[in-house]
Amino acid sequence: MYVNLTKKRSGLVYRPGAQAGARAILPGATTAAVACVLLQLAFNELAVARVKYVSRSLHPSSHTIQTSLNPRPQSNTGPPLEPVIPFLKRVLTGLGLREVSDEEYLATMKKRRDVYVKQIRKLERQIDEERKMGGSSGDSSD
């Protein structure tokens, strides 16, 4: 454990983490990184153990029968597997982003444009009303 002791008139004083200074940054970051790695490994191992347990409890005898009757692995004759989704696409989907077709994007942009056109018309009407109010109440020097 890293302890920063400074000398004062009354003796040594203990300074915890945040007050320890720049020298404590690297050891603290290293400790946190090691702890995170160990926790992630433990979580992954528990997830694998859970999947194995569930698969064994759902099909306890089918695995042993297949291996004893047919030691060679069979070719995949079942339904085709789902297409592999690229890593970047999965990350973006996880962040809440989704792929939009050109038609969807165009429709969205048209809706936005319509909203802005309405706002522009409203502001133009306000400007016209202000001009009419200002023009009729003031004296004209034309």
DSSP string, 94-106: HTT-----HHHHH
Q: Is the pLDDT of residue 60 over 70?
A: no
Q: How many domains does the chain have?
A: 2
Residues 62 and 118 in one domain: no
Span 44-49, mean pLDDT?
89
Q: Is the pLDDT of residue 36 over 50?
A: yes
- Name the residue with higher pLDDT: 89 or 21: 89
Residues 63 and 112 in one domain: no
Give the CA radius of gyration of the chain.
35
- Name the residue with higher pLDDT: 117 or 92: 117
Tell me which of 69, 104, 122 is where a domain ends. Answer: 69
pLDDT score recorded for residue 142: 46
Using an 8 Å Cβ cutoff, are 3 and 14 in contact? yes
Span 17-39, mean pLDDT?
85
Is 0.75 surpassed by the pTM of this model?
A: no
Does residue 116 lie within any of the structural domains?
yes
* Domain boundaries, position 99: 85-136
